[in-house]
């Protein structure tokens, strides 16, 4: 597995490349301590059949974390540039949570970049605090100005809060290991990591998934853990209702990280989906 770097207009982007075959790009969700290791149970299997690219988004993992105002458009532009400059071929893109909206927006305007989309428990509702935009701006400045916001972010990036976050991600609490908490804590305490978090909680990273989906022509595989939080499986009905070419698979005994918690099953579903002709849209429950 080769660790590589792509120099984007906003800073260096770290990514892993492994395997041979049609390109498949993995894009992690956004939360304190996020990085490409969210897909650590998927990379090796998928690389048997594809050239896998797993990237750390700007401000996360081993990528640069510049002191800027992070926005949804920055991430959409970053994904576009990565697909164009690095992958340089139509690709399957697997994304999770909030990043599904960025990929959907890009697929609506640049369908030539994609062959298939795989969305894992996408967010279809705002993540920012319910407050006026002018107040959100002040809150973001507060959070990113030391020492004003340092205490709050240190709490959110500490062991206790990260453990709570992870328990909400999984159906089984046995997945919440000290090693996983440590990895998220180490990432979340890297210099500059507060800046994307401040944009997350103040709404600057929100983008409307449901507005983009009706314009997306690329086939979509929608994976949802039966016990997902804070995006329950019922939210999948919204996506199916507006998407044109979508297949919903409900993963039993899984939360919002089914690709981690039920990785063998999810890997099998993704691989079979990419090898098979499109099936009629509709939800399917898959038991592990």
The pTM of the whole model exceeds 0.75: yes
Domain ranges of the chain: 2-128+206-286
CB 123 within 8 A of CB 98: yes
CB 57 within 8 A of CB 74: no
The confidence score (pLDDT) of residue 124 equals 81
The confidence score (pLDDT) of residue 153 equals 77
Mean pLDDT of each 10-residue bin along the chain, 288 residues long: 90 97 98 97 97 98 95 97 98 98 98 98 73 54 57 81 95 96 96 91 92 96 95 92 95 97 98 77 51
The confidence score (pLDDT) of residue 139 equals 59
What span, in angstroms and rounded, lies between the C-alpha atoms of 184 and 235? 27
The sheet carrying 11-18 orders its strands as: 2-8, 11-18, 50-55, 22-27, 91-96, 114-120, 220-225, 246-251, 283-286
| CATH, domain 2-128+206-286, list 3.40.50.300, 3.40.50.720, 3.10.129.10, 3.40.50.1820 | 3.40.50.1820
The confidence score (pLDDT) of residue 276 equals 79
CB 276 within 8 A of CB 49: no
The confidence score (pLDDT) of residue 212 equals 96
The confidence score (pLDDT) of residue 147 equals 59
Count other Cβ atoms within 10 Å, centred on residue 109: 12
């Amino acid at each position: 597995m080769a660790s590589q770097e792509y120099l984007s207009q906003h800073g260096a982007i770290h990514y892993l490349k492994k395997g041979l075959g049609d390109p498949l790009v993995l894009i992690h969700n956004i939360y304190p301590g996020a990085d490409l290791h969210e897909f650590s149970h998927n990379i090796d299997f998928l690389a048997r059949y594809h050239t896998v690219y797993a990237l750390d988004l700007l401000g996360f993992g081993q990528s640069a974390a510049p002191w800027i105002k992070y926005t949804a458009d920055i991430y959409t532009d970053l994904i576009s540039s990565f697909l164009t400059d690095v992958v340089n071929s139509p690709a399957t893109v697997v994304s999770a949570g909030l990043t599904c909206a960025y990929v959907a927006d890009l697929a609506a305007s640049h369908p030539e970049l994609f062959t298939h989309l795989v969305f894992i428990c996408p967010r279809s509702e705002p993540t920012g605090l319910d407050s006026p935009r002018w107040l959100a701006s002040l809150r973001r400045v507060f959070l990113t100005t030391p020492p004003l916001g340092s205490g709050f972010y240190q709490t959110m990036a500490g062991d206790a809060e990260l453990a709570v976050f992870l328990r909400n991600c999984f159906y089984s609490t046995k997945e919440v290991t000290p090693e996983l908490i440590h990895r998220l804590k180490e990432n979340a305490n890297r210099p500059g990591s507060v800046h994307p978090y401040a944009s997350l909680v103040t709404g600057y990273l929100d983008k409307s998934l449901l507005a983009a989906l009706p314009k997306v022509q690329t086939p979509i595989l929608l994976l949802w853990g039966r016990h997902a939080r804070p995006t329950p499986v019922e939210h999948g009905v919204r996506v199916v209702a507006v998407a044109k070419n979508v297949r919903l698979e409900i993963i039993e005994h899984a939360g919002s990280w089914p690709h981690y918690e039920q990785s063998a099953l999810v890997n099998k579903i993704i691989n079979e989906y990419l090898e098979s002709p499109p099936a009629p849209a509709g939800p399917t429950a898959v038991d592990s």
